[in-house]
Structure 1
Amino acid sequence: MSAGYDLYAPGDSWLHRLDPRVKLILTAMAALLVLLWSSLPLLLAALALAHLLLALARYPRGLAIGVWRALAPLLILIVTLWPVFDRRGEPVLLALGPLIVTGEALLRGLATALRIAALSFTLLLWLGTTDQRSLVRSLVRLGLPFSLGMALTIGLRFIPTFAGVYQTVSEAFQARGLTLPPRGLRRLQAMLPILVAALVTALRMSEQLGWTLAARGVGAPVRRTTLRDLAMRPADWLALAAGLAAGLALLWLTLAEGLGRALR
């Protein structure tokens, strides 16, 4: 069972083969830069670069479009409402009673929307090309306790699994004559039996999961071993060095020289 919550797309591209620890470190560096920048050209460049890297990694276009669809309502809301609540700057584009819209506020709203989009697709470079086992293993190797890593793995696994359970139960109920109103409170009331059945199924699955973890010795007071451990290759070290050098140079230019701090 799958759902749209799982952004990972299996593949054998250079980005898929890159060590997940390297991807995490470089993603964190890129996210820091995007958070510090306010320049529209730089934010657009970061967003375009993320899309270029996804294309080079042969990430499925349908999943990328799905991310845009999920982001679109939030981005439109930010661009629409930001100028309403932020009255600073010039020139004044609209003055209608208490409503004042300035060009600078409009640009700030657009920059905020671009920042969120660039951050989302920067994270997608990491999440979309790293399977959940390697992702959590990399966090454990970087110092995260194994118990937290296991909890994170289970959480990541059960989000799409529970969504799939809900979809299966919903289809079963509708095949037996249940009609879901298109919207409103009546739809919520009609969904209650589906939610109850899906919750019962999820609780049964959690009990089976507990038995499985106990059978595999999770929680036993012994040193754990790993079937497939992570190992840095020369290409990983090269990518890490090049990425950190470029990121630290941009960070120094941003903090010391004010790169990207202006809107234009």
Structure 2
Amino acid sequence: MRLIPGRFLRHAVAVFLCAMVVPAGAAAHERSLLVFAAASLKNAMDEVVAAYEADHDVDIDVSYAGSSTLARQIERGAPADVFVSANRDWMDRLQADGRLKNASRVDVLANALVLVAPRDSDIDLRVAPDFPIAETLADDYLAMAHTEAVPAGIYGRQALQSLGVWSALAGRIAQTEDVRGALALVARGEAPLGVVYASDAVAEDDVRVVDAFLDDSHDSIVYPAAVVAASAAESAPAFVEFLNGETAGRVFRDWGFKRPGGGG
């Protein structure tokens, strides 16, 4: 075993301790804000984050997934600072468990539900009670986010049930872990039809909207945002406020979102 001279060891320890001393300002700058956001927000949120970072001394990381997946991760202690969900139910669950900071929650966005097909498809359907979606699919599958857990899938199931065609689709649905997965199946031509958000259709050039579902065929599609209770990030409340402001609003509108209550 090789012995390290005491003088060298003392010097190495001193260097290590000096390296551990970081000015408070530098530490604050290096602290990043971690945002958990519904997968359907990806394109728009990336632009919103870039706009925020351009004017604020903070680095923002965004983790995208289905709202149910993100909410469960927060329940298990994931270090998110801000959560933006694609429906109110998962946010309600976190709020009931005391996992959101008091008075930080705000509804920031709304969306619509559409039926999409690959860009070069010649499918022509009008969404209406008892419309022939099962017959149109023939032996193929309808792409949807998970219909029992993911908001887009839940809204889609509600709409298809209200239109009287859900039972005819039993065993005919390709379910994905989030709405962008369903969108990808249609864009690649692996599914002839899919149920996604209107904003998803804007984000993907390889699909086209066949028709839209009426808003009263499903629960209102609202995206709440809130600061996670365990967060120590001072910039988290300001970022949530920014999401509800004019600059972010313009970006979200460009990507097919609306403000709750029909606002622009």
Question: TM range, normalised to the smaller chain?
Answer: under 0.3
TM-score (norm 1): 0.23
Q: Which has the higher strand share?
A: 2
Structure showing greater relative contact order (alpha-carbon pairs closer than 8 Å, 6 or more residues apart): 1
